[in-house]
Amino acid sequence: MPITSRNKISTAFNMASMSDLVFLLLIFFMLTSTLVAPNAIKLLLPSSTSKTMAKQTVTVYIDSEYNYFLEEVPVSIEFLTESIGTKLAGETEGTVVLRSDATVPVQYVVNLIDAVNQVNEMTQSKHKVILATRPAK
């Protein structure tokens, strides 16, 4: 009577662990690639020596072509007050960070400040506007 082994060795390759590894790598690279460029709108910020840090609630961009962006979504000047009001809903002391190109005239900055002041009057809140700058050389 010949002795046979109960456990047979299988030579087939299981691809399940390989696909799990590929999906984990894919998720890792997708998450790290979104952290690389947080400011997708290219601006040349004005320079300053002051360092004011604040918790930012909403970010508004004004590019060199005088277009407004609320959290990287284009917004026309007519709907700027309404858009900021919906973003700041539920907040009593929010901060609007303005990232404006250095070539933008002051009137466009004043338009944003007026929009935030209108939101403050409508909601009886105390939101403020902070201008983002780059360090002076």
- Compute the distance between CA of residue 67 and CA of residue 104 in angstroms, rounded to an integer: 10
- The mean pLDDT of 106-130, rounded to a whole number, is 90
Domains identified in the chain and CATH numbers: 47-135 (3.30.420)
pLDDT at 130: 85
pLDDT at 24: 92
pLDDT at 35: 63
Q: What is the pLDDT of residues 16-42, one digit of tens each?
A: 788 888 999 999 888 877 665 555 666
Instruction: Evaluate if residue 133 carries a pLDDT over 80.
Output: no
Q: What's the one-letter identity of residue 67?
A: N
Confirm if 115 and 127 have CB atoms less than 8 A apart. Answer: no
Q: What's the one-letter identity of residue 117?
A: N
Task: Specify the pTM.
Answer: 0.62
pLDDT at 11: 75
pLDDT at 34: 64
List, as one string, the DSSP characters of the chain: -----SSPPP-PPP-HHHHHHHHHHHHHHHHHHHHH-S--S---PPEES-------SEEEEE-TT--EEETTEEE-GGGHHHHHHHHTTT-SS-EEEEEE-TTS-HHHHHHHHHHHHHHHHHHT---EEEE--EE--
